Structure 1
Amino acid sequence: MSPAPEIGVAVFILKDNKILFGRRRSLNIGAHTYALPGGHLEFRESFEECAAREVKEETGLDIKNIELLRATNHLLSDAVHLVIIYMRAQLTDPNQTPQNVEPDKCEGWDWYDLNNMPEPTFGPLREMLQGGFNPFPIVS
């Protein structure tokens, strides 16, 4: 029997035209790369609930205006099939500072400009952004 796909929720937290990234420690998926806050979708959890929970668990930040941006599908190896649900959110209080709540999983959090992203960026995320995807809302 084949393993089931893993479903992850990743959150673009936007502030002052920057995106919050953290460098992952040695984990099975995305080890030592910069990634968005996020994690595995739990049973009976909405994407929005997962986004708020994971961001709080990893960064200590409270978020609002959580919205779905895109879903992507990746076969990373013969054993890893990853579906990533990308969300976008704003800080409930723009003066909040991200904390490294899980230092065993992340080296720390910082804000980066979309045109000056940290390297190495998690592969599926890098490919999507290099393909022209822009997580910032379109202002008319």
Structure 2
Amino acid sequence: MSTQSTQELPHPRVGVAAIVRNEKGEVIVGKRMGSHGSGSWALPGGHLEFGETHFACAERETLEETGLEVKALKLVTVTDDVFEDLGKHYITVFVLCERTDAAKEPKVLEPEKCESWHWISWDELRSWGEHQEDTEGTYADKKLFLPMIHLLQQSPEI
């Protein structure tokens, strides 16, 4: 422990990420902008609000960010994500969700936070995760948000 008092240290926050699949088993990922992890790929999600369940948060954040109405189904895993260089610590709760309207596609509703949404297979995401050190080749623009890297390490299959 450093010489800082615990009152000076930032408190961990709770993030919730929605794993939304289509009929092909692909998941929605978006390229983050304007916050920590800018330029990396992540699932829809955000901060858990006071009194909100993680299921309700996954449903709310997905609707706010993509316009998709989803039903939260189950807790997949929880990751411990420390962004040392930023002094941020998150506990991220990953929730499997299903779309209530399978024909509806995601839209960028928060352009200051997300550049675009794409359907990506789980196998492709795993491949991105295995090549995070590639800074100039095929995977240079496929950096994953730290909680996504931890999700792939903990849950190789969804």
The normalised TM-score by structure 2 is: 0.79
- Structure 2 residue 144 is the aligned partner of structure 1 residue 121: yes
Q: Tell me which protein shows more strand as a share of its residues.
A: 1
Which consecutive unaligned segments of at least 5 residues does structure 2 have? 1-6, 129-141
Residue 39 of structure 1 corresponds to 46
CA distance in 2, matches of 1:12, 1:31: 20
The ranges of structure 1 where at least 4 consecutive aligned residues each deviate by more than 4 angstroms after the TM superposition are none
Residue 73 of structure 2 corresponds to 66
- Structure 2 residue 90 is the aligned partner of structure 1 residue 82: yes
Residue 5 of structure 1 corresponds to 12
Residue 135 of structure 2 corresponds to none
User: Which amino acid letter does the alignment assign opposite residue 93 of structure 1?
Assistant: D
Q: Which has the higher contact order (CA 8 A, sep 6+)?
A: 1
Q: Secondary structure at the match of 1:126?
A: helix
CA distance in 2, matches of 1:65, 1:127: 21
Q: Tell me which protein shows more helix as a share of its residues.
A: 2
Residue 25 of structure 1 corresponds to 33
Matched-pair identity in %: 34
Q: How many pairs were matched up?
A: 134
The normalised TM-score by structure 1 is: 0.89
Q: How far apart are residue 6 of structure 1 and its match? A: 1.2
User: Which amino acid letter does the alignment assign opposite residue 90 of structure 1?
Assistant: E
CA distance in 1, matches of 2:37, 2:20: 19
CA distance in 2, matches of 1:3, 1:124: 18
Which consecutive unaligned segments of at least 5 residues does structure 1 have? none
Q: Is the 8 A contact 1:12 1:135 kept in 2?
A: no
CA distance in 2, matches of 1:134, 1:19: 14
Question: 91, 101, 113: which is aligned to 1:93?
Answer: 101
